Structure 1
Amino acid sequence: MKKVIISTLSAIALLSSTLTANAQVSSENTVQTSHAINTINSADSVATLPQTTGVYQVGTTTFDWLDTSREELLTPDPKDYRELMVQAWYPIDSGIGKETAPYIPLTSEGIEKMAASVGLGKAFAEVNKINTQVFENGELSNQKTKYPVVLFSHGLGQGNWNYQWLTRELASHGYVVFSVEHTGFSSGTEFTNGQFVPITPKFLTGIPTLKEFDDAVDQIWVKDLQFVIRQVETLNQTDIKFNFKDRLDVNRMAAIGHSMGGAAAARALQVEPKIKSAIDIDGSLMGLTGETAKMTKPFAVISNEFNSKVFKGEVEQPLPPGLDEKIVQDMKDSFKVFSNRYTQAIAGPAYDITIAGGATHVSFTDMPLLKQYLIETPYFNILPTGIEPQHIYDLSNRVILSFLEKTLDGKNNTILDRKDFITPDLTIVQ
């Protein structure tokens, strides 16, 4: 049978440090998970999301926004405009009378299409049995006059839904999070009219060049974020449905992203004045073109232990076997470029944060919580083993919240300031 060398998973691995070469699979023998099926029965078990730790209950809603100022670059029709689905998580005072939000706000047909397009498997259809502990269409809390804003970008081949360990947590601590689904680069986007847009084939089954990745981040992902900023400003001026009017502090805004989304957050910090600080979670610095990668505003990189060494050029990124020699050389050259950009980026007002304890790239997604929905798929075998997902989430959330408190709220004596905060699984270098 024909071997699938590059899937969504391995393509991400090669140039955006998303996964390792273990994601490589064949259509004849996809993965060996029979032992896992004996211990995980997806029909009888339901995944549990972490309890949020902030003082607020959490509400959520979705927006379907059309940017008529931009043509859609991923389709040949010049009449197509860039359209985005954006999910917001925000603090609310009460969920009484509100429906609990589904884990993925798609129709059952949309979830089936998404699962089929990126190989998530039949068991994934049960994912909306998860209790999200958040409420649909609530009103923004009245406990504060204004709330700071966080823009979030998912990784390539991922989606808004796959980072609720973080988005819900931030909202519970008083941040309004707008998670941007980058159409054509996610696991699949379903718009309110029922149209479904899968990941662009080039980024699913091909090996995009460094220039293609740079252009995608700089010309599409960052512009998506800038468009969402304009929409957030409009909500702040006009919205009464969710109590957002005059309540969104658009002068205290940060960008956070994972993998390719982390690169987008970093690049957006450089070019968008509204963004005051940014965090790149385990992502190579794509898109930092046309100028140095040095940051002039507060910036943080959070990496797992292995990728931290890869980003610094201390070890080589593993590549799948069987690749053309020219492709291998091009990739190695790209890794050198990323290493140079990384060195420049953390030389400014930046924090270089390493999460150890067995964390992998996937540890910064919800995937480790979703095992029972991923059986008999390539995703199952790339999940981290031997560690509790909650441990990685706890460490990551602590440093992310500290960074936001310091850069948006002006707080001192955070974890980032304290020399007495010591743990073997967390390293912070400024």
Structure 2
Amino acid sequence: MWHRLPCPEDGRVTEIIAGLYMSPLELLALLGAVGLVVARWLPPAARPYVTNAAVAVLVASTLTLGVVGIRWQMLPVLAGAAVTLPFALVPLLRRRTGRPARRAQWWLALPGSAACLGLLATGPVAAWAFPVPVFPEPSGSFAVGTRVMQWTDPHRPETFTADPDDRRTVVVQLWYPAQKSPAGARRAQYLGRTEQEARTVSDALVRQVGLPGFLVDGVPRARTQAVFNAPVADGGGRFPIVLFSPGSGGVRTQNTAWAEELASHGYVVVGLDHPYDSAAVLLTDGRTINTKTDSTGDRDKDDKLAADWTAVRAADLSFVLTQLDRLDRGEIAGPLTGRLDTSRAAATGHSMGGAAALQAARQDRRFDAVIDLDGYPHGPTSPSLQQPTLALTQAITPATDPRYLPRLTEALQLNTATSYRLTTPGAAHLTFMDGPLYLPPVPSIVGSLGRIHSPHVVAAATLAFLDTTLRHEPGDLAGVLSAYGSLSIHPPDNSR
């Protein structure tokens, strides 16, 4: 199976094998290196031809990779080739000068050949474990456009700084139904508007988790399925709104695959960067704001801090919904004027963003539905929710915070509208974001659903819920959701 992947350096398109996550150039370099090792064990008449062909393929592909950019995953392959090359060439050179070719006895050469093959195998394994993410093709009828906007709330001071004149600023990215772009149109960069911004954000994210940055250097190279600033889809219809708050330290683009899938089905998804909370937020004035939301290690203090940060995020969601309403009315210039249906809006989020979505919906009745992607409900549980709510969770295990399920259940049971909790077998906390597309497929990290199935499950379940609650489409919502895991339904308590 082949995917088409834009080359990060010049926008040209190359092909990448889905299983190995290696480009044809990388695969050729690998095959050339393997050919050098294998030639030693071929019949004497075939050795010169195989060696010469392998050297030619290896040199040509390596030189080309040097121009377009060599990934660190290829370094073991090149190292193995460098070790093998002298042993492969020296016998050929001796033969050409008329001297007898000397080769080590097979029992001496075997361990060296095995070691080199092991080194060469490290390259494909590393490319598979830490790939350039390939974003799934959206399944809806619309192409997807995206654009970034920055808004400042003049009525709300920035609580993370001591400057009394500083006002809260948020950066948002919109994914929306778009006209089909011309063939070869450059796809949007992942994690940022430019590759430099993407690298800044990627570096900030890996610093948070303590990973060496080079391990995920393929992530800022990736391109998504959307096109920046593509024309809005034809027709006079207005699109429902889905606001999204990322996890703690997360960024607006962390659920891009999910956002593109929803947009292809006729929704406008709006992802938020929360300055001083998100790992890195790049503002239009050139500033980069890094996170200040560090935990203290004290549970009580951290609970209080998390509740405070959640409240800020909830206020950000309400502010952005107001701005979208202004954008729809033409008070803010933009191509989506007259196309946004802010009377059909959902508050959604992952992890702490899910808690922010719950809190925003409690405080702002303009939100008509809520989706919590594995988020612990920080902050007060009152007033009660009054909107249909979907909570997607990973399986509850002994390692799960024992307060999580009771706290979430309380919030759902107090809801005056129907709530659903869908526990997805095989899911982990990072299943509900883009992590499975570029992190090692370790079940404890990204779950066991796989790189292709993980985004499909999350998008399909949330789409079914949104179609029912925002578009009021008929159907068996409980039956659809049950296909993706264990479903608990909390009907409203009419006695309240």
TM-score by length of 2: 0.66
* Unaligned stretches of 5+ residues in structure 1: 1-33, 310-314, 319-331, 373-378
What does residue 427 of structure 1 align with?
Answer: 487
* Aligned AA (1:349): T
Shift of 1:162: 1.2
| Counterpart-to-counterpart distance in 1, 2:409 and 2:473 | 32
| Paired residues for 1:203-282 under 5 Å | 203=295, 208-218=301-311, 220-238=312-330, 242-282=334-374
CA offsets per residue over residues 27-82 of structure 1, 9 Å max, x none?
A: xxxxxxx9987612389953211221101000001011111211111112212211
Deviations 1:375-408 (A, max 9, x none): xxxx989523543133232222122111111111
- How far apart are 1:236 and its partner, in Å? 0.6
Aligned residues: 364
> Is residue 177 of structure 1 aligned with residue 266 of structure 2?
no
Please say if residues 257 and 434 of structure 2, whose CA atoms lie closer than 8 Å, have aligned partners that are also in contact: yes
Given that residues 183 and 189 in structure 1 are in contact (C-alpha distance below 8 angstroms), is that contact kept between their aligned partners in structure 2?
yes
1:192 correspondence with 2:261: no
Q: Kindly indicate whether residue 431 of structure 2 is the aligned counterpart of residue 344 of structure 1.
A: no
Alignment of 1:159-170 (within 5 A): 159-170=251-262
**Would the alpha carbon gap of residues 37 and 151 (structure 1) be closer, same or farther in structure 2, given more than 3 Å must change?**
same
Instruction: Measure, in 2, the Cα distance between the counterparts of 1:44 and 1:422.
Output: 33
CA–CA distance in 2 between the matches of 1:186 and 1:305? Answer: 26
User: Which residue pairs with 2:400 in the alignment?
Assistant: 317
Asked whether the equivalents of residues 106 and 190 of structure 1 are also in contact (C-alpha less than 8 Å), the reply is no
1:232 deviates by: 0.5
The 1:63/1:300 distance shift into structure 2, 3 A limit, reads same
Q: Of the candidates 374, 384, 388, which is equivalent to residue 446 of structure 2?
A: 384
Q: Are the equivalent residues in 1 in contact too, given 2:129–2:438 (CA < 8 A)?
A: no
Aligned residue identity for 1:286:
H
Give, in angstroms, the shift of residue 302 of structure 1.
Answer: 1.0
Counterpart contact for 1:304–1:359, Cα < 8 Å:
yes
Pair 1:79–1:400, CA change in 2 (3 A): same
Deviation at 1:250, TM superposition (A): 1.0
- Compare 340-349 and 193-202 and name the one that shifted more: 340-349
Aligned to 1:102: 189
The answer to whether the Cα contact below 8 Å between 1:50 and 1:390 also exists between their aligned partners in 2 is: yes
- Corresponding position of 1:354: 423
CA-based RMSD: 3.1
**Aligned equivalent of 1:138, options 187, 211, 230:** 230
Query: What is the CA–CA distance in structure 2 between the aligned matches of 1:163 and 1:105, rounded to whole Å?
Result: 13
- Give distance in 1, aligned partners of 2:356 and 2:246: 10
Contact 2:144–2:260 (Cα < 8 Å) also in 1: yes
Question: What CA distance in whole angstroms lies between the structure 2 residues aligned with 1:199 and 1:45?
Answer: 26
1:255 positional shift:
1.0
> Alpha carbons of 1:187 and 1:160: their partners in 2 closer, same or farther (altered >3 Å)?
same
Q: Which has the higher helix share?
A: 2
Query: What is the match of residue 469 of structure 2?
Result: 407
Q: Which structure has the higher relative contact order (CA within 8 Å, separation 6+)?
A: 1
1:124, distance to aligned residue in structure 2 (A): 3.3
Instruction: Please give the alpha-carbon distance, in whole angstroms, between the structure 2 residues aligned to 1:258 and 1:41.
Output: 28
Paired residue secondary structure (2:255): helix
* 1:352 maps to amino acid: R
- SS of 1:228's partner is helix
After TM superposition, the score normalised by the length of structure 1 is 0.76
Equivalent-residue separation in structure 2 for 1:215 and 1:111 (angstroms): 24
In structure 1, the residue corresponding to 2:285 is in which secondary structure?
A: coil
Q: Distance in 2 between matches of 1:391 and 1:90?
A: 23
- Alignment-derived partner of residue 78 in structure 1: 164
Determine which of 111, 114, 132 is the counterpart of 2:204: 114
Name the counterpart of 1:148. 240
The answer to which of 70-79 and 110-119 deviates more is 110-119
